[in-house]
């Protein structure tokens, strides 16, 4: 099994976000088993949620479709069981805290272990709550966690995030929701430069607004790699995901 910790030691890493169950459950499985052939280093597989606070219209719509397709957390793990018969590509779980609480934290952790999910992103899990209530149990199950750093995060907070992060630090490129297109602004570049200048000891991945080869390569100058979400979802919807991936590392 490929370890995400080993992957994160690299540079110019490419991660994509995919909503589990979009556009169909069957297509999710196909994409996850094919995607490594296109240079993807790991996948952030999102659990659809009815009110995804950090996500823009594109990912919200994909979540709505996935929910209509019957995607539940139990189904999510069934999908991963099938995927694991075909690939050992590292998969990061992305979902919201309430879903895990309803499923049962211990059961959730065991299921992650069963399908070799090593790392979690839980955007609405505050650092203090993680440290007080979840750190011990996640560590018991050897689950890594990644926290988000935004342009408004203070230096003191960034250092606390670095301390508690066991996966990678998710550098959010802007204070907006996902899905924004356009050139990387001077303000965003200044944010990248600030994070790089801090010489953090944990791996960093830049996400939000990374949508083409140019923005991907720019992000890689300041971090270990970049995560592409909304733009990939758009190409999945057009059944042209493979073409999009070939343009990124051409």
**In this model, does residue 13 exceed pLDDT 60?**
yes
Q: Who has greater pLDDT, 78 or 177? A: 78
* Active site amino acids: 44, 55
Q: What is the pLDDT of residue 174?
A: 65
**In this model, does residue 249 exceed pLDDT 90?**
no
Q: How far apart are CA 219 and CA 216, in angstroms?
A: 5
Instruction: Return the minimum-mean-pLDDT range out of 79-88, 166-175, 190-199, 201-210.
Output: 166-175
Q: What is the pLDDT of residue 55?
A: 66
Average pLDDT of the chain is: 93
Task: Locate the domains of the chain by residue range.
Answer: 12-248
Q: Which fold has domain 12-248?
A: TIM Barrel (3.20.20)
Q: What is the pLDDT of residue 53?
A: 64
Q: How far apart are CA 202 and CA 193, in angstroms?
A: 16
Contact between 94 and 147 under an 8 Å Cβ cutoff? The reply is no
Q: What is the pLDDT of residue 2?
A: 73
Confidence of residue 167 (pLDDT cuts 50, 70, 90): very high
Q: What does the pLDDT average to over 222-239?
A: 95
Q: What is the pLDDT of residue 178?
A: 46
Q: Who has greater pLDDT, 68 or 175? A: 68
For 188-205, the pLDDT digits (tens) are 889 999 999 999 999 999
**In this model, does residue 54 exceed pLDDT 70?**
no
Q: What does the pLDDT average to over 213-241?
A: 95
Record the pTM: 0.93
């Amino acid at each position: 099994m490929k370890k995400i910790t080993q992957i994160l030691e690299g540079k110019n890493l490419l991660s994509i976000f995919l909503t589990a169950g979009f556009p169909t459950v069957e297509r999710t499985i196909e994409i996850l088993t094919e995607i490594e052939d296109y240079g993807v280093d790991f996948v952030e597989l999102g659990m659809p949620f009815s009110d995804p606070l950090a996500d823009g219209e594109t990912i919200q719509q994909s979540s709505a479709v996935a929910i209509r397709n019957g995607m539940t957390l139990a189904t999510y793990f069934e999908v991963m069981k099938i995927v694991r018969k075909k690939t050992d590509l590292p998969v990061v779980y992305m979902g919201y805290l309430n879903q895990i609480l309803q499923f049962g934290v211990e059961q959730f952790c065991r299921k992650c272990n069963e399908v070799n999910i090593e790392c979690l992103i839980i955007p609405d899990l505050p650092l203090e709550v993680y440290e007080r209530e979840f750190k011990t149990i996640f560590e018991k199950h050897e689950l890594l966690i990644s926290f988000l750093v935004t342009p408004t995060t203070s230096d003191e907070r960034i250092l606390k995030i670095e301390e508690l992060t066991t996966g990678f630090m998710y550098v959010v490129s802007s204070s907006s929701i996902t899905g924004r297109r356009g050139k990387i602004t001077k303000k965003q570049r200044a944010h990248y430069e600030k994070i790089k200048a801090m010489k953090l000891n944990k791996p960093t991945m830049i996400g939000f607004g990374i949508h083409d080869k140019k923005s991907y390569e720019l992000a890689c100058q300041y971090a270990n790699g970049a995560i592409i979400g909304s733009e990939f979802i758009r190409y999945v919807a057009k059944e042209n995901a493979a073409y999009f991936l070939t343009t990124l590392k051409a």
